[in-house]
Amino acid sequence: MWETIIVNPFSTALLLIYKLIGGNFGIAIILFTILIRLITHPLMASQIKSSTKMTEFQQSKQWQDIQKKYKGDKEKLAQEQMNLYKELGISPFASCLPSIIQIPLIFGLYQSIMRALASTPGQLLIFTRAVSPLLNFFHINSADLVPLNSKFLWMNLGQPERVYMFGVGIPLLALIVAVTTYVQSKVTMPASPNPNDQGAMMNKMMALYMPLLLGYFALTFASGLSVYFITGNLIGIAQYALLGKVNWRALIPGYKPNTTARNK
Amino acid sequence: MKTKYLLLIGLALAMAVVLGGCATGLSASSWPGVTADATNAYIAGGPYVYAVNLQTGVEVWRYPAKAATATPYYATPVLTPDGQLIVGSFDHKLYSLNPQSGAQNWVFDQARDRWIGGVLVTSEGIYATNADYNLYALTFTGTLKWVSPFQADQAIWGSPVSDGTNIYFGTLGRKVYAVNAQTGKQVWVKAVDGAILGSPVLGPNNSLYVGTYGDVLVSLNTSNGSIVKQETASSWIWSGPVQDGTNIYVGDGNGMLYAFPMTDAGQPWTQQLGGAIVGSPLVSGKTIIIGTELGNIYFIDNTGQNLRPISITGKIYASPVAAGTLILVAPTSGDNTLVALDLNGVTKWSFKAK
C-alpha cells in the first residue's frame, strides 16, 4: 500500500525528472522538492494563516482575561479556551497538519532516493520489480537508468556526505542542513512579546531541536536526503517571504519581538 | 498548544526511528553467498557467516559473536589454498576466518564501500573488487599489495576472473576492464550494452563472457577487449554465465535459461522456467542446475532435455553450489537458510539459522 501510493510514484517521478534533465540526480531531487512544495503550498499558506490566528489569540485581551479569571481552575480554563477557539473559528491543529503531512513525504522521498540509487543487489532488484513497469509506461527503458549518476557537486547522493580536509571528514552538508533549518525556524517563528507564552517557548525549543534532529539525519543518512532538506528549507523561507511573513530581524541576537509590526 | 508541539516532537522522533529502519532495511538487502569444502558449507547469510557440517546439516560455528545486522555479510565466501575463508561485509571490511573454528585471522579495512561479490583467489594472492570502484590485490596475510592505480567508472559488484596474465571484471557503469595481474595497471577497457552486475567467465580461444542488465550476453576477446559476439536475452541478465567447455549457460529476468555454443561442438537451446533467474547456473557433470525466484530448483540435461523441477520454500536468488554429491541451495525468505539436495533433487538435510 505504502509502496504503491508513495514510494513507487515518487521514484518514478524522480527518475522521469532525472531523464528529462539529462541525468543529474541532484538537480532531479531539487526539482522534485520544488514540485512537492508547489503541490503542498495551499496547505503551507493555511498553516501560516492558522499560526497567525493562534498567535493573535494568545495575545488577545479576551484570552488573557479568561486566563486571569480561571487561574486556579484548569478544567474550566480548558473549556473556555475551546469555546473561544470555536467562537473565533480557530482550529488548534490546523497549523500542525501541514507539518504532519511533510513527514510521510520525507519517508517516501528517502525511500525513493535509496531505491533509485540502488546501492545493493536487493535494492536494485526491488527497483527492477517495482519501478521499471511504471517507467515502461513512459517508454523509458530501466536498463538505461542503471546505474544512476549519483554524483552531484562533491557528493555521492547514495552515501552520507563528508568533505575530507587534512584527513578529517567534515560533514559540511549536515552543518548546512542544521543552519538552514535553524534560520527557517527563526525567521518564520510567530513573534510573541509574552515571555510566559507556552507556545512561544515551544517554538523556541523546536527552533533548537529541529536543526539538531535534521542535522543528525543528514549526518547519518544518504546525502540525497540532505539535498531535499536544504532545498525544502530554502523554499520554505521563500514561501513565507512571498506571504510577507519572514522576520529577518529574528536572527539578530537579543532581538525582542514587536508583535504589532509582525502579526498584523 | 502544548499537545500540538509534543505531537510534532513525537512525530519527529518517530521519523528518526523509521528512517533509521528504512536505511538499515533497504541498504542491507541482498541474498546469501555460499561455498563449501570437504567438511563444511559456509554461508554469508546476513548478520552472520555460518559453517554447517555437510554430513549432518548442523551448525559448526558462526561469526561474529554479535549479529552484524546493520552491516551484514552477503559476499560469497571464498576458500584459499592455505586454509582461510575470505568473506567481505557491508561494513567495508574483508575478513579472513579459520574455516575450522570461525576464528578471525585478519581484517582488511582499506576499502571505502561494500563488498558485494566474492574475491578471486589465485596462487599469487587475493584479488578483491569493491563497490568503491577499486580492485585490491592482497597477500594471503591480508596485506595490501596494490590498489588499481586507476579507478573504474562505477561500482564493481561481481567477482573478478583471471587467466593468469590479466584480471577481468565488469562494472555497473557498463564497462569491462582488463587489468595486469602483477601491477594493477589497466590493459584495456570496453563499453558494453548494460550494467554488469555479475562476474565474467573465461571461455576457450581467448574469450571472455559477460551478462548485462541490458539484456545481452557479450563475448569479448581477452587480448584487446574487442567484442566478438553478442547474444540477446529476453530480459536482464543478473549473475554471471557459466560454461562447460562447449556451451555457455545463462538465465534472465523472464525465467529463460539459455545455452549458447562456445565451440562448434555446442548446441544452442532455451528453456522457459518459472520465475526470474537471478543466480548463476551450476554445471554438475552433464546436468545444469538453476534456481528461480519462485522457489524452484531445476535440474536439466546439458542438451536442454529432461527438465526436473524441485520446489523449495522461499525465493532462490543465490547460485546453487556443488559440495561432493550434494547441491547446496540458500533460499531467501524461506523456511531454511540452507538446503542440501542430492543429484536427484532429494532433500538430504536443511539448516535453519536460529
In chain A, how many domains are there?
A: 1
In A72-171, which residue ranges form alpha helices assigned H by DSSP? 74-88, 97-117, 121-126, 132-137
CB contact under 8 A, B194 and A126: no
Residue of chain A with shortest Cα separation from B18: A107
In a domain, B294, yes or no: no
The terminus-to-terminus CA distance of chain A in angstroms comes to: 44
Residue of chain B with shortest Cα separation from A202: B5
pLDDT at B271 over 80: yes
Supply the range of the domain harboring residue A155. Answer: 2-262
Instruction: Compute how many other C-beta atoms are within 10 angstroms of the C-beta atom of residue B256.
Output: 18
Give φ, ψ of B83 to 5 degrees.
Answer: 80, 45
What is d(CA A226, CA A219) in angstroms, rounded to the nearest whole number?
9
Under 8 Å between Cβ of B200 and B209:
yes
Handedness of CA B322, B323, B328, B330 (dihedral sign): negative
CB contact under 8 A, B22 and A110: yes
Chain centroid to CA A229: how far?
Answer: 7
Supply the range of the domain harboring residue B207. Answer: 114-232
Q: Tell me the chain A residues in contact with residue B28 when contact means C-beta distances shorter than 8 Å.
A: 120, 122
What was the pLDDT predicted at A59?
75
Instruction: State the DSSP string of A144-199.
Output: GGSS---EETTEETTS---EEETTEEE-HHHHHHHHHHHHHHHHHSPP---TT-HH
Residues 177-236 of chain B whose Cβ lies under 8 A from any Cβ of chain A:
193-195, 197, 212-215, 236
In a domain, B196, yes or no: yes
In a domain, B109, yes or no: no
In a domain, B264, yes or no: no
Closest CA relative to residue A111, chosen from B20, B74, B317, B115: B20
Q: Which pLDDT tens digit goes with each residue over A48-106?
A: 777 777 777 877 888 888 888 888 888 888 888 888 888 877 776 666 666 677 778 77
- Residue B191 maps to which CATH number? 2.40.128.630
Closest CA relative to residue B201, chosen from B171, B230, B231, B158: B158
Q: Tell me the chain B residues in contact with residue A23 when contact means C-beta distances shorter than 8 Å.
A: none
Residue of chain B with shortest Cα separation from A104: B15
CB contact under 8 A, B15 and A92: no
In a domain, B193, yes or no: yes
- β-partners of residue B88 are B94
Q: Which pLDDT tens digit goes with each residue over B214-270?
A: 999 999 999 999 999 999 999 999 999 999 999 999 999 999 999 999 988 888 999
CB contact under 8 A, A119 and B7: no
Helix axes B2-27, A97-117, angle to 10 degrees: 10
In a domain, B78, yes or no: no
Give me the half-sphere count of Cα atoms (radius 13 Å) on the Cβ side of residue A41.
14
With a CB cutoff of 8 Å and minimum separation 6, the contacts of B108 are B93, B94, B96, B128, B136, B138, B142, B144
In a domain, B129, yes or no: yes
Residue of chain A with shortest Cα separation from B197: A121
Q: List residues in chain A touching B: CB distance below 8 A.
A: 54, 58, 92-93, 95-96, 99-100, 103, 106-107, 110-111, 114-115, 119-126, 128, 143, 146-147, 159, 198-199, 202-203, 205-206, 209-210, 213, 216-217, 220-222
Q: Which pLDDT tens digit goes with each residue over B22-77?
A: 443 334 489 999 999 999 999 999 999 999 999 999 999 999 999 998 889 999 99
CB contact under 8 A, B19 and A205: no
What is d(CA A212, CA A209) in angstroms, rounded to the nearest whole number?
5
Give φ, ψ of B164 to 5 degrees.
Answer: 100, -35
SS3 state at B309: strand
In chain B, how many domains are there?
A: 1
What is d(CA B329, CA B94) in angstroms, rounded to the nearest whole number?
24
What was the pLDDT predicted at A174?
94
Under 8 Å between Cβ of B85 and B78:
yes
**Residue A96 distance to chain B (closest CA, Å):** 7
Residue whose entry in the numeric block shows the C-alpha cell 549536515: A174
Q: Which pLDDT tens digit goes with each residue over A149-169?
A: 888 998 888 778 888 888 888
What is d(CA B282, CA A183) in angstroms, rounded to the nearest whole number?
59
B103 touches chain A (CB under 8 A): no
Q: Which pLDDT tens digit goes with each residue over A204-224?
A: 777 788 899 889 988 988 888
Which of A123, A124, A144, A228 to substitute to test the interface with B, most B CBs within 10 Å? A124
CB contact under 8 A, A220 and B278: no
Q: Which three cell numbers stand for residue B86?
A: 575470505
Of B11, B29, B194, the CB nearest to A143: B194
| Whole-complex ipTM | 0.91
**Residue B159 distance to chain A (closest CA, Å):** 14
Handedness of CA B2, B4, B5, B11 (dihedral sign): positive
Give φ, ψ of B227 to 5 degrees.
Answer: -80, 125
**Residue B306 distance to chain A (closest CA, Å):** 30
Nearest 5°: the CA angle B288, B290, B295 is: 150
Which of B22, B26, B90 to substitute to test the interface with A, most A CBs within 10 Å? B26
Maximum Cα interatomic distance, chain B, rounded to a whole number of Å: 81
Q: Which pLDDT tens digit goes with each residue over A109-131?
A: 878 888 888 889 998 998 888 77
Quick one: how many helices (H) and strands (E) in chain A?
Answer: 13, 4
Residues 19-48 of chain B whose Cβ lies under 8 A from any Cβ of chain A:
19-20, 22-23, 26-31
What was the pLDDT predicted at A63?
83
Q: What is the mean pLDDT of residues A37-43?
A: 84
Closest CA relative to residue A202, chosen from B219, B318, B1: B1
**What's the full length of chain A, in residues?**
264
pLDDT at B278 over 80: yes
Residue of chain B with shortest Cα separation from A78: B1
Q: Which pLDDT tens digit goes with each residue over B305-343?
A: 999 999 999 999 999 999 999 999 999 988 999 999 999
- The CA dihedral of B77, B79, B82, B84, to the nearest 10 degrees, is 30
In a domain, B123, yes or no: yes
Give me the half-sphere count of Cα atoms (radius 13 Å) on the Cβ side of residue B124.
19
